[in-house]
Structure formats: C-alpha cells, structure tokens
Amino acid sequence: MNELTVGIVGLNIHTPWAEGVANNIKELCRSLRNRNVSIVLITNKIKEMPRVEDMHNMVNIELFVPFTAQERTLKYKINYLFFFVALSLYLPLLISRYKVDIVHFHLGLNPFYVWFAFVSRAKNIPLIWTMYTPAALNTSIIPRKFVLGVLARVICIDKFCEETLASCKFSGKTVRVPMPLDINKFSPCSKHRKREYREKLDLPDGKILILYAGHFTKGRGVDTLLRAYDLLISEKPVLKIRSRLVLASSGINESSYFSQIKEYVQRRGLKDNVLLLGCQVAVEELFNAVDVLVFPAYDLGHVISTPRTILEAMLSEKIVVATDVGGVEEAIRDGENGFIIEPRNVALLGKVLEKVITQPGACLLMQKRGRETIVNSCASDIVTEKILDIYSSCLGARVQDSK
C-alpha cells in the first residue's frame, strides 16, 4: 500500500497524554507512516500545540476552529460544533487536494456523518469509524442505525464496544481491533534507571510506590483509592513506612473534585505518604518509576472503555489493579496478569494493596504475563496490519461498487 493516503480525523491531538484517543491516533499515524502510508491528520486548532507541531515531519496537518475549552463546558460544545461545520465545508476539498483514499474518524457518532456519507459517495471514498466507548453512541440525534449504516466499517477497540453495537442490532460491518501501542516506548527498565526516574520526579527510593495516573474526575474513583490506602496504613503502620501513594494528573481535573482530594490529604495528615505530582507528560518514565498502577474507576463516562493507561502499565511490567469496568476484563485475567476488583469496594482494594506492598516478589510472574498479554495483542505492528487489512477490504469493495 505504498500509494495509500488516509485522512485521520480526531479532536485534541495536541494533548500530550490527557486523552487515550489522542495517543491512539498519534501511535496509529506513526505506525502507518512506517508502512509508507501517507497521512492527513485533521484536527481542531488550539492556542498552543507543540505536540502537533512535532508531527509535521510525519503527516500533513489540517487544523480547524481557533479556540479550545475545558471538556463538558458550553464553550467546548460550541467548539465541537464549529469543528464539524468547518469539516463539512472543507472535507471535499481536502479529499481532492491530498488525493485521500480513505477517511478514518476517531470521534463520537455524529449526525454530520450522514453528510460525510454523501461526500464520500460523490468522491467514492470509504468512511471508517473507530468506536472507543459505548458513550459515543449517545451523541447522535439521528437514529443510530441510520448513521452507522453510512459507514464502510466500524472498528471496536474491545469486546465491550462490540457487544454494545450488537445490542443496537448493527452487524456485518463491525470488526474488533485493539489500540496500537509502542512496545519499545513502554517497556521495563533496570533498577538503576528506575532510581534515576525516581530522582527526576523527586520520588523516594526504597519504597513501594502505588500510582494513580489519569483524570481527576468523580467517576475515576480516586477518593475510593485514597480511603482504601488511608485505612490500610492506619491499621498497619509498618505499611505506612514501606509505601507511598502517588497521584499524577492527566491535566483534566474537575476543580471541586480535585479540591476534595487535596483537602482529604491535608485533613487526614497524609501529605508525607500521598504525593501529588501534578500533570505529567513523560508517562512512560512515570510508569518505570513506580511499582503498582491502580485504576479505581467506577464510571468511565466519555473516555475509552479499555483505558490505555492500564495497557501501557502492563507493557511496563507494573502490577496493575483495576476495577471491573468497560473492557478491562478483556485485558486483565484476575490473579494471572493483574488484579480485577469490584468498583468502589474500599475493603477489597485495601486487601489487594496490602498484598502488593508486602509481597511484591510474588507478583513478578504476573507482571511478565501482563506485558506478554499486551505485546501479543496490542503491539503496533500487529494492530497496524489489521487496520491495513480493513483499509484494503474497504477499497476492494469500492472497486466492486464502481463496476
């Protein structure tokens, strides 16, 4: 496919870490480019976009909408609307200008897709949509089945998304393909390098470091993790000496919820044991600096159903403790390559934390199995080959339809 040109459409690609979808698109672009596929990245324009600028040597970038805003605000919704209006006007021109063969959307299911279908029909261009969460189905005011029907393929990142589409009585065009991950970027490191990363992040050496990394929003369950850790070290002071809880933000915080977290830490006198790192960009270094990743969410909301953070931590051979939400159970087999717990269960989470603090050596095989699981299913080379097969299939159908 040396002459293939793909138009990839997504929002907030500038984000260095905050959105799994953005990182998925960046990795897909990198991997496709390594296969000599030309990429036109279509995204929203923002005030500061160094990460997008860094990609200019790899892809052509078309930017729309001159402002950005915090997610879930009115300004963000207006931005989102303007993006689609601008894209509707310019998509035919972009297809012609760059000789695009396929348009691949990484956005919520949107009524604008119906218009894009007319454009694609006129240009004879297949439309493909990647579904990251069942919540993406709720953004369309036009019947789901009708909007889905205009797409050449729907790529589901996990079984959870695939089953949701099946419940909508939509089938025939669905294919399950996980997100691509760079297995070299996310990999285990030596003890010496681990100490270097801890020193760089001002984290204590010689302690078991338990990490939460992601959004500070209510459904992410950071408060559950805090209570579980607080109860554990209160009942067993020796664990207070041996461990630290590290909270790293993705940059997306609900101010009131984040304030509650900080107030709890201060009120309970936990500032020596609970370390607030703020927003971290080099997440691969962060993973290598810690021992355990905890994902305590009980409501994924509008984020991806199999959180990318979990997969990256498993690749880094970290002990992963995650709640049974979304597609988590597809990645983690409880007790084999990680731990799955019931959401909002403070007591159970505390017991698992006690085990990983007191018996880290017993989890070494589990950690290796975790990396092996992700390498075998989500390595960029494997996933990209599947994506290219989908592109080929769609282009083959296009040729048949034109006869």
Do strands 127-131 and 102-105 pair parallel, antiparallel, or not at all (unpaired)?
Answer: parallel
Q: Which H, E and C letters describe 96-121, residue by residue?
A: HHHCCCEEEECCCCCCHHHHHHHHHH
The pLDDT confidence band at residue 215, using thresholds 50, 70 and 90, is confident
pLDDT at residue 210 in the model: 98
pTM: 0.91
Cα 95 to Cα 119: distance, rounded to the nearest angstrom: 10
Alpha carbon 151 to chain centroid, angstroms: 23
Mean pLDDT over residues 332-353, rounded?
Answer: 96
pLDDT at residue 19 in the model: 66
pLDDT higher than 60, residue 322: yes
23 vs 340, residue with greater confidence: 340
pLDDT higher than 50, residue 294: yes
Domains, the chain, with CATH or none: 5-180+379-402 (3.40.50.2000), 191-377 (3.40.50.2000)
Q: Give which of 130, 341, 320 is closest to 214, Cα–Cα.
A: 320
Mean pLDDT over residues 228-232, rounded?
Answer: 98
Mean pLDDT of the chain: 88
